[in-house]
A and B are shown apart, each in its own frame.
Chain A
Amino acid sequence: MTLLCLAAIWLVGFGLLRWMFPQPLGWSLHNVWLFSVGIGMGAGVASCLYFLTLVLAGPSSALLAWSAGAAGAIALALGLIARKRGDPLDWAEGPRIPWYPIALLALAIALALAMFLGAVAYNPHGDEGAWSIWNLRARFLFRAGGFWRDAFSSDLSWTHPDYPLLLPALVALCWKLSRQESTAAPIAIAFLFSFGTAGLLAGTLGALRGKIYALLAATILLGTASFVALSAALYGDVPLSFYILAAIAMLCLQDRHPDNLRFSALAGLMAGFAAWTRNDGLIFVGALIAARIIALLRFRDRKLPGPQLLRLALGLAPPLAIVVFFKLRVAGPSDWSSVPAATILKNFADPGRWIQMVEGLIVILFNFGRFLIPIALTLAIYWYLVRFRIEAPDRAALATAVLALSFTLGVQLLLDILYVNNLPLEAITSFERILLQLWPAALLAFFLASGPLQLAAPQIQAKASKEKKAKKTVRRAAEYRCGNPDSMPGV
Chain B
Amino acid sequence: MRRTPAFGVAAFEERFNEFRQTVQPHTVYGYLSDSRPNDPSALAEFHLAQYTLAPAIVKPSSSENLVIVNYHGKNLDMGLLRANRLLPFRDFGNGVALCRRTRR
Verify A132–B25 contact, CB threshold 8 A. Answer: no
| A 121-143 to B, binary, CB cutoff 8 A, 1 in contact else 0 | 00011001001100110011001
Per the bound structure, the CA–CA distance linking A140 and B47 in Å amounts to 14
Given the known inter-chain contacts A153-B57, A155-B59, please indicate yes or no for A136 contacting B51, CB distance below 8 A.
yes
- Rounded to whole angstroms, the CA-CA distance of A140 and B55 in the bound complex is 5
* Bound: A144/B10 CA distance, A: 21
Q: Give the contacting residue for A132; candidates B26, B50, B59; CB below 8 A.
A: B50
With beta carbons under 8 angstroms apart, the residue of A124, A125, A136, A145 that contacts B50 is A136
Question: B9 near A: Cβ within 8 Å?
Answer: yes
Residues of A within 8 A of B55 (CB): 139-140, 143-145, 147-148, 150-151
Residues 37-67 of B, flagged 1 when their CB comes within 8 A of A and 0 if not, give 0000000100100110011010100000000
Which A residues touch B57, using CB under 8 A?
A: 150, 153, 155-156
Q: How far apart are the CA atoms of A145 and B24 in the complex, in Å?
A: 10
Of chain B, the residue at the smallest CB distance from A159 is: B50
Residues of B within 8 A of A124 (CB): 9
Residues of B within 8 A of A139 (CB): 51, 54-55
Using an 8 Å CB-CB cutoff, how does the interface string of A142-169 with B read, 1 for contact, 0 for none?
0111111011010110110000000000
**Bound state CA distance, A132 and B49, in angstroms?**
10
Residue ID in chain B nearest A131 by CB atoms: B51
Q: Is the CB of B54 within 8 A of A136?
A: yes
Q: Which residues of A contact B28 (CB under 8 A)?
A: 155
Q: How large is the interface on B (under 10, 10 to 19, 20 to 34, 35 or more residues)?
A: 10 to 19
Contact present for B51 and A143 (CB under 8 Å): no
Residues of B within 8 A of A155 (CB): 28, 57, 59
- Provide the bound-state CA to CA distance between A153 and B26, in Å: 10
A140 touches B54 (CB 8 A): yes
Q: Shortest beta-carbon distance, B9 to chain A, in Å?
A: 4
Complex CA–CA separation, A139 to B25 (angstroms): 11
Per DSSP, chain A at the interface is helix
A156 to B50, CA, bound (A): 9
Chain B residues positioned under 8 Å from A159 (CB to CB): 50
**Partner among A135, A136, A144, A158 whose Cβ is within 8 Å of the Cβ of B26:** A144
Contacts of A132 in B (CB 8 A): 47, 50-51
Is A143 a contact partner of B25 (Cβ separation < 8 A)?
yes
User: Would B25 and A144 count as touching, CB distance under 8 A?
Assistant: yes
Name the interface size band of chain A.
Answer: 20 to 34
Flag if A131 contacts B25 (CB, 8 Å): no
* Of B44, B54, B59, most A-chain CB atoms within 10 Å: B54
**Least CB distance, A33 to chain B, in whole angstroms:** 37
Residues of chain B within 8 A (CB-CB) of A151 are 55
**A144: B residues at CB distance < 8 A:** 25-26, 54-55
Query: Are B47 and A128 touching (Cβ within 8 A)?
Result: yes
Mask: chain B, 3-20; 1 = CB below 8 Å from A; 0 = not: 000000110000000000
Cβ of B25 and Cβ of A145 under 8 Å apart? yes
A125-B9, A128-B44 given; A143·B54 CB < 8 A: yes
Q: Please indicate the chain B residues that have their CB under 8 angstroms from the CB of A136 in the complex.
A: 50-51, 54
Residues from chain B with Cβ under 8 Å of A128 in the complex: 44, 47
CA distance A148 to B55 in the complex (A): 8
Taking a contact as CB atoms closer than 8 A, the residue among B9, B26, B59 that contacts A131 in the complex is B9
Chain A residues positioned under 8 Å from B9 (CB to CB): 124-125, 131
How many angstroms from the CA of A146 to the CA of B24 in the assembled complex?
A: 12
| Minimum C-beta distance from A452 to chain B (A) | 51
Residue of B nearest to A146 (CB): B25
Bound together, the chains give a CA A148 to CA B57 distance in angstroms of: 12
- Contact B44–A150 (Cβ < 8 Å): no
Q: Give the distance in Å from the alpha carbon of A143 to the alpha carbon of B10 in the complex.
A: 18
Segment 199-219 of A: residues with Cβ below 8 Å from B: none
B25 to chain A, nearest CB (A): 4
* Docked pose: A144 CA to B54 CA in angstroms: 8
Residue of B26, B47, B51 touching A150 (CB-CB under 8 A): B26
| Chain B residues, Cβ within 8 Å of A153 | 57
**A-B contacts, 12 listed (Cβ < 8 Å):** A125-B9, A125-B10, A131-B51, A132-B47, A132-B50, A143-B25, A143-B54, A145-B25, A147-B26, A148-B55, A150-B26, A159-B50
Those 10 A-B pairs whose CB atoms lie nearest each other, nearest first:
A144-B55, A139-B54, A147-B26, A125-B9, A132-B47, A143-B55, A144-B25, A147-B25, A155-B57, A140-B55
Known: A128-B47, A156-B50. 11 other contacts (CB 8 A): A124-B9, A125-B10, A125-B51, A132-B47, A136-B51, A147-B25, A147-B55, A150-B55, A153-B57, A155-B28, A159-B50
